[in-house]
Structure 1
Amino acid sequence: MIRAYSMIAYKAYLRNKVYRSEVWLRVFGNISIIFIQISIWKALLGKGTLNGIDLEAMITYSLISTFISMILMSKIIYTLDDKLKSGNITSDLLKPLSYPLLLFFDQLGNVLFQVIFTMIPTLIISWLLFGLSFPTNTYTNIAFAVSVLLALLISFLVGYIIALVSFWFLTTFALDWMISALITVFSGSFLPLWFFSDGWRFVADLLPFQYLGFVPAAIYMEKIDQSDMAWILGKGIFWVFILWMIGQFLWLKAVKRLVIQGG
């Protein structure tokens, strides 16, 4: 069974290799985004600080949050939407595999491609251009690895839930656009949560989106106290469980709807 899921991930990886010619365009795009962000923070901070955060810290934050954004499983919305429109989902459902896991490993293959052909080149170029220090604390490295895993799982589950809505509606464009806007704001991918007002920070803490950018970057930068680390990561695990339960509920309803309609 594990071999079957591994093959799904490998096929997704190979499918992405068809577009290898676009890799350097993606790398250039990522470097451009990082450069723009750093330029903005240079203009805002100069040699000063804001809420105890200086320019060097914001350069590191911009780099890490951009790297995290490269490996989020956001394509699942379009993957499931295409399968529904083409009717290929029926053949997938006949396979003796868990369909949610099938989708997850398909996205994992996409992530593997992004890491090898986009993130690593971007990381090397960014390190040469802007400099990037690496954590030496073992505890920090472990916590960061866990936070990256949480980012993968939460991004997959959020996209999965949005995609399942397409079983009831012809398109999820409006919902996808709205959630993407919320993620852009509350993930802290551009503006870190350190700079949010108390009210907006409270809203951000009620949502899972900070695990898609802010939390991994803050852990990497050792801006979260070790005494708070278990709580932060535990809350992320809780969000994975809640989103998984919502996804399972919608999936069972969606399959029932598909069967009733004769799909």
Structure 2
Amino acid sequence: MRLYAAVAAGGFRRYATYRGATLAGVFTNTVFGLIIACTYIALWDERPHLGGYDQAQALTYVWIGQAMFAVMVLQLGGGFEADLMERIRSGDIAVDLYRPADLQVWWLAQDLGRAAFQFLGRGIVPMCVGALLFPLALPSDPLRWLAFLLTLLLGATVSFALRYLVALSAFWLMDGSGVVQMSGLVSTFMSGMLLPLNVFPGGFGEVARALPWSALLQVPADVLMGERGAAGALAFQGAWAVVLLGAGRLLQRAATRRVVVQGG
């Protein structure tokens, strides 16, 4: 456990060194939050209870999304996947497999360290700006905030598990950029980043809320706003984390049986 704690700390420190990128990310998320918030105000003025949210909840959802954008890597390219795919392509993955450490847990620890920094360094400021400028439906109950933090941890684990599966596709593909782009589009839409999944009608909405991407944003937002019970939300996220991490383990086992060094 000490090894993986050190790896997580290293992941935190790695992203903490990019101060300029962090400030740019804070500025970008704040600006996009303002644009989306104004759009939501116009939309909720026309449909005051769209998706079961009032306007304050809808605005809260906007700023939670901006705070969690980098934490959950709601567009691929901000996490470990590019590094892992390059190591697979170059053949350096063979060195990783000989290390006295589990490959999947190693990358998970590093990614959780990254997520912790992104939450503290890039997530809190946009949320505070939103709270200053708009009437948000934020809870006063500390237990709900604690439950929210737990959903962030499990959501980040689900996010890792999804991206780990994407990264492992490089064992079979010469260029995994197409898979990365497709996965990024699905993640952005199905997580509820564009619109809350609660506004989708009928069977499509039910399916969207049952898929693992909802664990990244929709579930934590609903827990924070009191729209979903913490126990059920954590069970949902935990179940998807176990399933997806297990799938990653199986795919890793199948891939490492047929490692092909491409180049080098």
Report the TM-score when normalising by structure 2.
0.88
Deviation (angstroms), 1:236:
2.1
Residues matched between the structures, number? 259
User: Cα gap change, 1:46/1:163 in structure 2, threshold over 3 Å: closer, same or farther?
Assistant: same
Q: Distance in 1 between matches of 2:125 and 2:233?
A: 30
Q: In structure 2, what is the equivalent of residue 159 of structure 1?
A: 163
User: Cα gap change, 1:205/1:172 in structure 2, threshold over 3 Å: closer, same or farther?
Assistant: same
Q: In the TM superposition, what are the counterparts of 1:125-140 in structure 2 within 5 Å?
A: 125-130=129-134, 132-140=136-144
The 3-state SS of whatever aligns with 2:179 is helix
Identity of aligned residues (%): 29
Query: Which residues of structure 2 form unaligned runs of 5+?
Result: none
User: Cα gap change, 1:78/1:248 in structure 2, threshold over 3 Å: closer, same or farther?
Assistant: same
The 3-state SS of whatever aligns with 2:158 is helix
- 183-192 or 162-171, which moves further after superposition? 183-192
Q: Distance in 2 between matches of 1:110 and 1:137?
A: 28
Q: Distance in 1 between matches of 2:250 and 2:188?
A: 27
User: Cα gap change, 1:193/1:33 in structure 2, threshold over 3 Å: closer, same or farther?
Assistant: same
Root mean square deviation of aligned Cα: 2.4
Measured against aligned partners, the alpha-carbon deviations of 1:56-104 in whole angstroms (never above 9, x if no partner) come to 1111111112222221155132121122234332222222111111101
Task: Assess if the C-alpha contact under 8 Å between 1:48 and 1:54 holds in 2.
Answer: no
Q: In structure 2, what is the equivalent of residue 218 of structure 1?
A: 222
Q: Distance in 1 between matches of 2:111 and 2:238?
A: 20
Task: Assess if the C-alpha contact under 8 Å between 1:12 and 1:110 holds in 2.
Answer: yes
Query: Which residues of structure 1 form unaligned runs of 5+?
Result: none
User: Cα gap change, 1:251/1:194 in structure 2, threshold over 3 Å: closer, same or farther?
Assistant: same
Measured against aligned partners, the alpha-carbon deviations of 1:204-231 in whole angstroms (never above 9, x if no partner) come to 134111111111101111112x4xx533
Q: In structure 2, what is the equivalent of residue 201 of structure 1?
A: 205
Residue 61 of structure 2 is aligned to residue 61 of structure 1: yes
- 72-81 or 91-100, which moves further after superposition? 72-81
Q: In the TM superposition, what are the counterparts of 1:58-97 in structure 2 within 5 Å?
A: 58-72=58-72, 74=76, 75-97=79-101
Deviation (angstroms), 1:133:
5.0
Q: In structure 2, what is the equivalent of residue 15 of structure 1?
A: 14
Deviation (angstroms), 1:47:
7.8
The 3-state SS of whatever aligns with 2:214 is helix
Q: Distance in 1 between matches of 2:135 and 2:2?
A: 40
The 3-state SS of whatever aligns with 2:259 is helix
- 53-62 or 115-124, which moves further after superposition? 115-124
Task: Assess if the C-alpha contact under 8 Å between 2:139 and 2:145 holds in 1.
Answer: yes
User: Cα gap change, 1:248/1:28 in structure 2, threshold over 3 Å: closer, same or farther?
Assistant: same
